[in-house]
Chain A
Amino acid sequence: DAKTTQPPSMDCAEGRAANLPCNHSTISGNEYVYWYRQIHSQGPQYIIHGLKNNETNEMASLIITEDRKSSTLILPHATLRDTAVYYCIVLISNFGNEKLTFGTGTRLTIIP
């Protein structure tokens, strides 16, 4: 079973910041938070991951609460191409041999 809870859908205006929440209240101390997205008819795409510090890369920022029970993925300036299903996943980053347990994700729609 997925260890995360996400809203099923969200809308965001083009050019605005999209903030996608994720609850992972049972996360263990050695589990990372990963975010992937899946654009229609494509395979999931890695976005970002973190353990306890906030992380930023060229795609997004990840904000993890101090108690690590929830996190927020931020797409700073959403474009139409960001329309996708976003999955929040927790796993032990055991260097590439951990299975990914996907939930149903959040369907983000960017509105022109």
Chain B
Amino acid sequence: ETGVTQSPTHLIKTRGQQVTLRCSSQSGHNTVSWYQQALGQGPQFIFQYYREEENGRGNFPPRFSGLQFPNYSSELNVNALELDDSALYLCASSSRGQDYGYTFGSGTRLTVV
């Protein structure tokens, strides 16, 4: 059974650019959630995808968007990057109907300069 994998592990972008982060969910999981973790803080919920549709969103602007694919993998896209977007971006997969908790990936460290 594979866990959650995220790519890339580290990324440096310039303010104003766009970025795409990727996540492969754990085998058997059909729901993907994305979190942003600023330095020294707990992770903050961005949004969740189920059946290729957004299913719940946290307090993040529309320039944060996502996709889920038929194989349940997911992308997080951020447009018009700002310096405050520098953070660890975490992907978590879970399975509806199974009370087994969420499995997190190791994250993508994004630095905006």
Partner-B contacts on A (CB < 8 A): 2, 34, 41-46, 49, 87, 93, 95-97, 99-105
Contacts and interface: CB of A to CB of B under 8 A. Distances in A.
Interface of B: 4, 29, 31, 33, 35, 41-45, 48, 50, 55-56, 58, 88, 90-92, 94-107
Contact of A96 (B31, B43, B105, B107): B31
Contacts of B90: 43-44
Contacts of A96: 29, 31, 94-99, 102
Given A95-B99, A99-B45, A100-B102, 7 more contacts: A2-B42, A44-B90, A95-B95, A97-B56, A99-B48, A100-B45, A104-B42
Given A42-B106, A100-B43, A95 B98 contact: yes
B103 A46 contact: yes
Contacts of A49: 101
A85 B96 CA distance: 27
A46 B42 contact: no
Contacts of A42: 106-107
A87 B42 contact: yes
Contacts of A95: 95-99
A40 B90 CA distance: 13
B99 A46 contact: no
A99 B103 CA distance: 13
6 contacts: A41-B107, A42-B106, A43-B91, A93-B99, A100-B92, A100-B102
Q: Which of A41, A96, A97, A104 has the most CB of B within 10 A?
A: A96
B41 to A, nearest CB: 7
Contacts of A103: 42
